[in-house]
A = this chain, B = another copy of it.
Amino acid sequence: MPCGALRHCATRWPTPPADSATPSDTVTPMDTLHIYNKLLQFALFQGLSKADLGALVTHTRLGFHKYAEGDTIARAQTTCDRLFFLIDGRVEVVTSADNGSYALAETAAAPLLFEPEALFGVSPHYASLYRALTPCSVIGIGKDEIYKLIDRFPIFRINYFNLLSALIQKRHARCWRSHGESIDSRVVDFVHSHSRYPVGAKRVVVKMVRLAQELGCSRLEVSRALHRLQNQGRLQLFRGGFVADLAAPAHQQSTPDTFRQ
């Protein structure tokens, strides 16, 4: 995975992941309005009063980062010491199997919060890699600052509880939904169950023999299913995997999964 260097940071938090961030006490009224509008796109900040948001923007150490195409914003398995809010641009989100035998890359666009659960829990690490597909603007808020926001703003913390709980509920619901019976449906289910985001192109890097093991069928059956789906225009095979741009499987279409904001 290429790891591009950080190309530019605003002066208020010059070199993430440095811990020497200084409060954003030089924010102008115009900046403040712009940051307001950007933050209000995220569920975590919704419902905060204008006064609270003003206090938040003025007194919270916000890191403003810009990344060029190809730069790595956060790396899988590294410690999550801040929340990243993608406010402009598109990223590729790559998740790999524990044993490295397959991986799935998704594209997602701003506004996007990276793994809100990664800041807490038994394993405070990013599970996926986040790489800029276009020039990206990101607001980073360190763990200490998030703790302060949780302490200070009841709406923020309830939003956070709601966000985490919704993720658990949606994962649970997905497990108990009916699965398709054909191999074609199982391929589509596999892609959906390994995706963070319900829509968009998913690039799956997997050998047919490995996918067959995951689906509990033969390599030949998987090969036929993938070619059928390709003939239907639902995916595009390449050497070592496929790109799928799948709608929800037919048996799930009544309950579209908006797994992540």
Interface, chain A (partner B; CB < 8 A): 95-99, 101, 117-124, 127, 147, 150-151, 154, 157-158, 160-162, 164-173, 175-179, 181, 183, 186, 193-194, 213-217
Contact = CB atoms under 8 A, between A and B. Distances in A.
A120 B119 CA distance: 19
- Number of this chain's copies in the assembly equals 2
Contact of A179 (B119, B169, B213, B217): B213
B183 A216 contact: yes
A214 B166 CA distance: 25
B193 A175 contact: yes
Given A120-B164, A160-B161, A181-B216, 5 more contacts: A97-B177, A98-B178, A119-B161, A150-B157, A179-B214
B169 A117 contact: yes
DSSP majority for the A interface? helix
A120 B164 CA distance: 9
Contact of A171 (B98, B120, B160, B168): B168
Contacts of A122: 162, 166, 169-170
B178 A101 contact: yes
Contacts of A119: 161, 165
22 contacts: A95-B176, A98-B173, A98-B177, A118-B165, A119-B161, A120-B165, A120-B166, A121-B164, A122-B162, A124-B165, A127-B172, A127-B176, A150-B161, A161-B164, A164-B164, A164-B168, A168-B171, A175-B193, A176-B194, A186-B216, A215-B216, A216-B217
A96 B122 CA distance: 29
Contacts of A176: 95-98, 127, 194
A165 B117 contact: yes
A165 B164 CA distance: 7
Interface centre among A147, A151, A172 (most CB of B within 10 A): A172
Contacts of A181: 213, 216
A151 B127 CA distance: 30
Given A120-B162, A165-B121, A194 B175 contact: yes
Contacts of A118: 165, 169
A178 B97 contact: yes
Nearest to A210: B178
Contacts of A215: 216
Considering residues A157, A216, A217, which has the most beta carbons from chain B within 10 angstroms of its beta carbon?
A: A216
